[in-house]
Amino acid sequence: MRDQTGPRPGVEWAVGDLTDAAAVRAALVGIDAVFLIWPLLDSAPAHDLVTELVAAAPRVVYLSSTAIDDEAARQSDPIVQVHADMEALLRNAGLRPLVLRSDTLASNARGWAPQLRAGDVVSGPDMARTAVVDERDVADAAVAVLLAQHNPLDYEPHLLTGPEVLSRTDQVALLGAALRRRLRFQAVTADVARSRMLTDGRPERLVEALIAASMRRPESNHTTDHIERLTGRPAGTFARWAVDHAAEFS
Ligand SMILES: NC(=O)c1ccc[n+]([C@@H]2O[C@H](COP(=O)([O-])OP(=O)(O)OC[C@H]3O[C@@H](n4cnc5c(N)ncnc54)[C@H](OP(=O)(O)O)[C@@H]3O)[C@@H](O)[C@H]2O)c1
């Protein structure tokens, strides 16, 4: 969602669809570095964007996923597959992207707000444990690599994780501590989760991708110090994120 407060002084917005080559071309004028997010479920529509990037030749920083398995022929689920395909597309185009592979964003918890306004239970599909990362740290890491003068950074992906590996139950309990409420996570079956998301109006393809992720994505059970190496500060905890965002859940 776009920031309703508008751009900060000295910042100019160019608003457009990532799949619209003309909009991308216009946005790239005078730009020397790009932080690329590709939130689509297919990499095919990115070909025109990559053509525009090659022509404009900026530094490209791509936000990917720690769930990529570099040894696997196919990734665990469609969302991770798109990131693997995008990394390959950017690399094969000669763009030498700097890749930030992020673990699960803390901001996903915002999706629980409607349930928590109605009661003390968060229910949803269970997911493997992940090293939940504060999206503010991901943004700071992205700024660090975008602004690096000479490039001291190699082209190996940076693995951005939070400081601890958490289950959904852990996250809901930490959120409860921040809200001073006793909250609990209740896992539902894939069928229940699917029909709820469809009833909420989510596109079927996205729903299937999310269900596949919940069922097939393996646990990401290790943390890294890459946030600290890039930003100079240790990664923030989910408990801190929960305190800072408590007002959004009441
Ligand atoms: N969430 C995670 O845990 C996680 C972890 C690792 C990597 N990632 C990756 O990080 C990226 C962002 O994730 P997210 O969870 O923050 O996604 P999100 O909440 O779905 O946000 C996606 C953003 O992209 C915008 N968008 C969608 N289609 C667009 C298009 N065709 N052109 C321009 N903008 C478009 C959306 O704008 P509107 O709101 O206006 O539609 C929204 O601002 C994704 O690529 C995701 O796979 C996410």
Superfamily holding 21-249: NAD(P)-binding Rossmann-like Domain (3.40.50.720)
In percent, the amount of the chain with pLDDT more than 70 equals 96
CA dihedral (238, 240, 242, 245) in degrees, to 10, reads -130
Is the pLDDT score of 152 beyond 60? no
Measure the CA–CA gap between 157 and 235, rounded to whole angstroms. 17
Residue 160's pLDDT is what?
98
Is the pLDDT score of 4 beyond 70? no
Where do we find the tokens 């530094």? 59
List % helix, strand, coil for the chain (3-state, nearest 5): 45, 15, 40
CB of 105 shorter than 6 A to ligand 1: yes
pTM of the model: 0.95
Measure the CA–CA gap between 144 and 100, rounded to whole angstroms. 11
Measuring from atom 46 of ligand 1, which residue has the nearest CA? Answer: 39
Give Cβ neighbours of residue 138 (< 8 Å, ≥ 6 apart): 63, 100, 102, 105, 160, 227
* Ramachandran class of 206: left when φ > 0, alpha when ψ lies in -120 to 50, beta otherwise: alpha
Residue 111's pLDDT is what?
94
Give the lowest-confidence range in 3-17, 26-40, 174-188. Answer: 3-17
pLDDT band at 1 (very low <50, low <70, confident <90, very high): very low
| C-alpha 143 to ligand 1 mean position (Å) | 18
